[in-house]
Structure 1
Amino acid sequence: MSRTRRQVRKPPSTSRQKRSDRLHRILVVSEGALTEPEYFELLNRHIQHTLPPHADKIQIKVDPKTKDGKARRKAKNNPMDVVDRCILLRDDDARKNNTKDIPKYAAVFAVVDVDQWDDVRRGSGNTSLLAKALSKAKDHGIHVLVSNPQFETWLVLHTECTPAGDQQGLDRQCRERSLLKGKNIHDDFPIDQYKRAAERAKEHHHVGVNQIGPKGSTGLFHLVDTISKWTCLDR
């Protein structure tokens, strides 16, 4: 009687990455409590639905959160509060997930406006509150994305329109192009144009991370560049 050959089990492949190794977690903390979080939540959903099969996974955590078109907490008071919140959430997340198969945040972004925060009278000495926040962010590895004068600059870049350099002009552009309903992102917002918005932002003013650009500028394109790199969206 012939003896049955025992099947040799192959060792697990070392070339195959674990699922967690292909997950890039991003934390985005905004100064605003409604418009900005709604936009980033919409962007996150759009990315999940459009990722190609070979792409790395992206998970964007947005703070603060919204619910049923309403803010779940008050807005941050100023850019320094936003940077402090980034540090707190990042470090707390790292402690909680230290023993779990969950990767640390691959990038942490603070989204703030210039508004009145670049006025030295709101800071100390000859340094504005915004400048102090940018300095602290650099020391703690936080990427601050500044819009001048405000976040609506980024929203307008999703259209073919050049953003106005003042709040009234931006509000008018958002109304005329149905980008916002009050403080809420419009149901028909052209979120699929986010990569084109990043290209337009760079064409207008190539603002660095943790830098303040001129009127009509925004550094939000750095977030898009990061997402595109990790998800292979341009391949």
Structure 2
Amino acid sequence: MRQRRREAKSLKRKVAHRPELRTIVVFCEGKNSEPDYVNGLKRLPEVADNTALNIEIHPKQGVPLTLVEMAADRLANPEVDECWCIFDVEWPKNHPNLSDARQLAQAKGIGLVVSNPCFELWLILHHREQTRHLSTAEAESMSRKLDGRAGKSIDAAVYMPLRKQAASRSERLEQRHVRNGTAFPDDNPSSGMHRLLRALERR
């Protein structure tokens, strides 16, 4: 009985099709802690595998409205899927044109990450609950004491493992403001960073 001839295997290598990455551009008001933190997110495998994350810092530390205008221009590029702006309210002297920045962002479909009084509140939430009203100076001082840093730059690797705890605390603060009827910009303390985390880490 004749042996059945085996079919010759194709020598062509199968090409793996990597899914197209989402392109997200994050605009930062500050040039230290915010970009340091976002770069930490950028290095997470669950972000790097799905997203091309770019960071832009206003050269003159522009005010919130300027950042949103920059983001609106960038979002007109068809290669960009999402734009987000990270900025502070600042306390006791609020940034100018905060309401205009929020309205423009909503009209243009730009994501906002607003921290009140400042981004350091978000850093504090990685370590502990914070429900008491804070000035910018108080938040900065408390944040430095909690992680031991001397200046504004942070080691993002310290924060990445704690980000989900910070997000939970931030969401609880948000719910508390809703219950109490405290609306922006009087929602001190608060941070919208948990929204950016959800957007970046979604599958």
1:198 maps to 167
Question: What TM-score does the superposition give when structure 1 sets the normalisation length?
Answer: 0.67
Q: Structure 1 or 2: larger helix share?
A: 2
Aligned to 1:86: 71
The verdict on how the C-alpha distance between 1:213 and 1:201 changes in structure 2, with shifts beyond 3 A counting, is: farther
Which residue does 1:173 correspond to in 2? Answer: 142
Q: Do the aligned partners of 1:158 and 1:191 also contact (CA within 8 Å) in 2?
A: no
Query: 1:159–1:5: structure 2 CA closer, same or farther, 3 Å change rule?
Result: closer
Match of 1:147 among 115, 122, 128: 115
Query: How far 1:189 sits from its partner (Å)?
Result: 2.8
- CA distance 1:202–1:24, change in 2 (3 Å): same
- Give the letter aligned to residue 141 of structure 2: R
CA contact (8 A) 2:64 2:101 kept: yes
Count of paired positions: 187
Q: Does the residue aligned with 1:174 lie in a helix, a strand or coil?
A: helix
Please report how far the alpha carbon of residue 203 of structure 1 lies from its aligned counterpart in structure 2 after TM superposition.
1.1
Structure 1 vs Structure 2 CA RMSD: 3.2
Matched, 1:26 2:11: no
How far 1:26 sits from its partner (Å)?
A: 1.7
CA distance in 2, matches of 1:87, 1:28: 12
Residue number in structure 1 paired with 2:50: 57
Cα-to-partner distance string for 1:75-110 (whole Å, 9 max, x where unaligned)? 12x111110111223334x3xxxxxxxxx3332111
TM-score (norm 2): 0.77
Q: Which runs of 5+ in 1 are unaligned?
A: 10-16, 66-72, 95-103, 123-128, 231-235
2:60 matched residue in structure 1: 74
The answer on whether the counterparts of 2:75 and 2:82 sit within 8 Å (CA) in structure 1 is: no
TM-fit CA distance, 1:6? 8.6
Sequence identity, in percent?
24
The 1:6/1:178 distance shift into structure 2, 3 A limit, reads: closer
| Counterparts of 2:165 and 2:154, CA distance in 1 | 18
